[in-house]
């Protein structure tokens, strides 16, 4: 298979590139390195063809897509806080950029586009665990952008016959996640602070729940979604299928690191949801997706990565 990974120099994208190369697939990466890192691609050498460019440029997107069979659309501006600060750029990259990907995929007769959506589209709508038929209630511009992009994916299947599959990721963590960004996820922030024996910050009381999902599960779901039959136009939750509080996460990371530091609690952040958790029954039935990595093993892999970095 010849595949394009947009955002292939990013956290999830580079892990996906790894898995594709391990299967001996041909891989093209499109990235503008606004959040992705060049060093993540260095180990791939000439095995990956890099197209440097922005999702907002149809010409660059079209150049990257030409000749590929499947597009794994991971590229995005991925932060809720950043989207609140700058909704215009989030809209342009995540919605207009996705439209460019879909148009180029249609024009090049790509077999399937697998789109990286987000659990944030559910917002604080009632009903846990989240099922794909629940009414979305996004709270932040980032979540709105992902829901709009999902709608474009569904429309391109219905109107143009372009096969699309949307995967709603739940709080992904693992090796290569960036802990230095002001928009970094909670897991790398906890790990790096505790490795330095410094107190991490918890926003709110720490009892907010999340379905923390190891990146290996997300990669596996993407590969399954690229080939599953009868799933075009559909959206699927991709998660571990079990919620934990942020306080539980902190205690688990602290035990693995082996320190006695206590967290610092600050006011909740705007746009953050209180509770999140996934029902993965639809992905299990239609994609054959079954979580294989335990939460603790995933945390150990992440801690090991950051300890070596």
Active site amino acids? 142
Strands 213-214 and 264-266: unpaired
76: nearest Cα among 61, 59, 91: 91
Cβ proximity of 176 and 9 under 8 Å: no
Spatial distance between the Cα atoms of 141 and 269, rounded to a whole number of angstroms: 14
Task: Output the CA torsion 239→241→243→246 (10° steps).
Answer: -30
Tell the residue number behind the tokens 């979580």, with chain if given.
291
- Structural element, H or E, at residue 83: helix 80-85
DSSP 119-154: GGGGTT-S-SSB-TTSPP---SHHHHHHHHHHHHHH
Task: Identify the DSSP state of 95.
Answer: I
């Amino acid at each position: 298979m010849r595949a394009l990974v947009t955002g292939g120099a990013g956290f999830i994208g580079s892990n996906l590139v790894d898995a594709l190369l391990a299967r001996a697939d041909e891989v093209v990466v499109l990235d503008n390195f606004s959040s992705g890192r060049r060093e993540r691609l260095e180990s791939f050498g000439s095995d990956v063809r890099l197209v440097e460019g922005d999702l907002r440029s149809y010409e660059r997107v079209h150049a990257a897509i030409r000749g590929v069979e499947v597009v794994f659309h991971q590229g995005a501006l991925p932060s809720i806080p950043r989207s609140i600060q700058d909704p215009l750029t989030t809209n342009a990259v995540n919605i207009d950029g996705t439209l460019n990907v879909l148009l180029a995929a249609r024009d090049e007769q790509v077999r399937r586009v697998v789109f990286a959506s987000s659990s944030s589209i559910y917002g604080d709508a009632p009903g846990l665990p989240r099922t794909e038929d629940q009414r979305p209630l996004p709270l932040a511009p980032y979540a709105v952008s992902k829901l709009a992009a999902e709608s474009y994916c569904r429309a391109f299947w219905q109107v143009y016959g372009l096969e699309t599959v949307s995967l709603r990721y739940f709080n992904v963590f693992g090796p290569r996640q960036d802990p230095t960004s002001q928009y970094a996820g909670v897991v790398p922030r906890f790990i790096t602070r505790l490795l330095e024996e410094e107190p991490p910050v918890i926003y709110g009381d720490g009892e907010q729940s999340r379905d923390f999902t190891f990146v290996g599960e997300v990669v596996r779901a993407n590969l399954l979604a690229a080939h599953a039959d009868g799933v075009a136009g559909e959206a699927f939750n991709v998660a571990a299928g079990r919620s934990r509080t942020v306080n539980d996460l902190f205690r688990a990371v602290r035990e693995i690191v082996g320190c006695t530091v206590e967290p610092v609690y600050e006011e909740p952040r705007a746009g953050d949801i209180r509770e999140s958790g996934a029902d993965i029954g639809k992905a299990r039935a239609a994609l054959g997706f079954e979580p294989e990595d335990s939460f603790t093993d995933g945390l150990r892999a992440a801690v090991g990565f950051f300890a070596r970095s």
